[in-house]
Amino acid sequence: MQKPSLDRASEAGEAPQPLKEDVGATDPGPRNLGRDRQNPDVLAPPDTDSGEVPNLRFSFSDAHNRLEEGGWAREVTARELPVATTLAGVNMRLTPGGVREMHWHKEAEWAFMLDGRARITAVDQDGHDFIDDVGVGDLWYFPAGIPHAIQGLEEGCEFVLVFDDGNFSENSTFSLTDWFAHTPKDVLATNFGVSESAFSHIPSGERYIFQGEVPGPLPVSSPRGTAPESFSHRMLAQEPIRTGGGQVRITDSSNFPVSTTVAAALVEVEPGGMRELHWHPNDDEWQYFIEGKGRMTVFASEGTARTFDYRMGDVGYVPFAMGHYIQNTGEEPLRFLEMFRSDHFADVSLHQWMALTSCELVQEHLHVDREFMDTLRKEKRPVVE
């Protein structure tokens, strides 16, 4: 049965037009009305938009999906979203028992569990093993080159993976089955000290994702193995920074030490609220929208700015240092991840910058009155009402 949707009512109404008070004109078609309805600020941009800012949105719905027995995977990389050179993302589903096979890659892998549960395993270069069962809101991080595997538990799972290179491809990882298939059997026999017949049934190529048996419960005595640093983290167990319009949880190497190349913030904005005007002094921002609807304008200097609309399942991007805000434009909470190729999260608040600068100096720039200046807060409030 289909769930009743608030969107359905509001989006079935009159067709939006690329028309504002005294500019634009109606669109008699042909047109993709569904997309126009989802992107009102692209169809009729705010007057403050100007110039040529590159595309900063790509939806996983538009990404090629690789369907396998045991799950599926699709990716948004620099090939889909050319501006996104620092990070790449993969959206993956595993059935109960479904296995993303044992593999490694050149990039570090960060992940956020969206639905269900999975068992993750890894072994590091010093022979330390790691195993953990992760659920919704849990993270994992595997440093570059560290071999690992993921398997769906009883309820299956869906997660988003983020890699610290925009040109990563999930289809070019180093897989166990692929290597076996491309190694002479006599070499395998020598390596493992057994006869060649031990390998007469190995797969003829990479399996990538395949259906396995749901694994049994973890032994309580050693849920994590011997790895010196945990490869997983319970992000939702963190106490959020709460503000009037929502809340933020920040995870980077300060509270998840192994995650040295990816920093993240999980932002929740209430209806009518807004992620405040800010920028990041360390790197580009890669966003994944988990829930709700949002609108972002990116200020790119030189008199240029561009506005985009986002929904769950979309990827957004903000090039290094560009100013931006994100408004909740829906009737439900807006939840998204801000991700950075960095060992730490950092943002500069426009509000705080102005509050901590000489009142007279700010007034000389903006011609605002003293009353406004007195409302400025010295403490940062990442989400505002």
Element spanning 40, H or E = helix 40-43
69 is catalytic: no
Least Å distance, CB 147 to Mn ion, is 9
DSSP secondary structure string for all residues of 165-192? STT--GGG-EEHHHHHHTS-HHHHHHHH
The residues near 299 (Cβ < 8 Å, ≥ 6 apart) are 305, 322, 323, 324
Contact 362, 373 (CB under 8 A): yes
Closer to Mn ion at the Cβ: 24 or 281? Answer: 281
CA distances from 243 to 23, 239, 273, 382 (A): 38, 13, 10, 8
Kindly tell me which of 96 and 319 has the beta carbon lying closer to Mn ion: 319
Residues in binding contact with Mn ion, number by CB under 5 A: 3
Interface with Mn ion in residues 247-306 (CB under 5 A): 285
Which CB sits closer to Mn ion, 36 or 314?
314
Q: Which one among 80, 101, 107, 109 touches Mn ion, defined by CB under 5 A?
A: 109
In the bound complex, what is the minimum distance in angstroms from residue 299's beta carbon to Mn ion? 12
The stretch among 298-306, 335-343, 357-365, 366-374 that binds Mn ion (CB under 5 A) is 335-343
Conformation bin of residue 21: beta by default, left when phi > 0, alpha when psi is -120 to 50? alpha
Name the minimum Å distance from CB 319 to Mn ion: 11
Distances (CA, A) of 298 to 48, 172, 203, 305, 327: 11, 33, 49, 5, 12
The minimum distance between CB 237 and Mn ion, in angstroms, equals 23
Write the interaction track for Mn ion spanning residues 195-214; mark x where CB under 5 A is met and - where it is not: --------------------
379 secondary structure, DSSP code = S
Which residue sits closest to Mn ion, CB atoms considered? 109
**Catalytic residue (one of 338, 360, 364, 379):** 338
Q: Contact residues for Mn ion (CB under 5 A)?
A: 109, 285, 338
Q: Catalytic amino acids? A: 338
